[in-house]
Structure 1
Amino acid sequence: MSASDVWHETDTGRETGTDFDEAIEPRVKVFIHNDDVTPYDFVVIILQRFFGLNLLQAEHVTYIAHVSGRAYVTTLPKSEAEKRVGQAHFAAGLEGYPLTFTIEPE
């Protein structure tokens, strides 16, 4: 358990943010989709910042999306994937880019 994990009680009295919650939550795959507007370098930064990819991984995923139309990014618990995709979409929107990520069942 890392220091960034959040512990709090829900209305049911059950703690959330535990390893147990992550074990029962379905995992999903995150994909990035190519577009003709979002700059390559911006995509690389988004993949590093929000999905924890290193520079080489981020460049590889960006290249695959560019040539194939979409690329696999990572597999995460559903709530974590939704959070990160939302953050990435928000950041892209602030810059006026139509960068798109989708989530699919594992």
Structure 2
Amino acid sequence: MADKDDGAPGSPGVGIATRTRAKAKKPSMYKVLLLNDDYTPMEFVVMVLQRFFNMDIEQATQVMLHVHQQGVGVCGVFSYEVAETKVNQVMDAARQNQHPLQCTLEKA
């Protein structure tokens, strides 16, 4: 004769399902930094900030002046992959236009 499954805890065929949630760790954030040099035109820096960091003309000009006066400035804070892509885009644009502009990233 077969055992009956009456649904009571501990009966054959009855178990407790537990779901463990793995807490998703927020990705580390990285600052994209623009470094000043004496050769890259200010207009080019403003264009880069508008094109790759979606800044309006006023914000791009403020960041450009900060970089010019302080030697370095933050363009934005992003996940590693996005920050790396933005650095590469800026460096490629600078190279294509024969400017020595440097862009780096560092952990925020």
Equivalent in 34, 37, 41 of residue 36 of structure 2: 34
Structure 2: stretches of 5+ with no match in the other structure = 1-23
- Indicate the residue corresponding to 2:77 in structure 1: 75
Per-residue deviation, 1:35: 0.3
Percent identity, aligned pairs only, is 35
- Write the distance in 2 (CA, Å) between the matches of 1:78 and 1:48: 21
The equivalences for 1:1-106 within 5 A come to 24-106=26-108
Give the strand-richer structure, 1 or 2.
1
**Shift >3 Å, 4+ stretches:** none
Larger Rg: 2
- Indicate the residue corresponding to 1:5 in structure 2: none
Letter in 2 for 1:79: E
TM-score normalised over the length of structure 1: 0.75
Letter in 2 for 1:87: Q
TM-score normalised over the length of structure 2: 0.74
Structure 1: stretches of 5+ with no match in the other structure = 1-20
What is the root-mean-square deviation of aligned Cα atoms in Å? 1.4
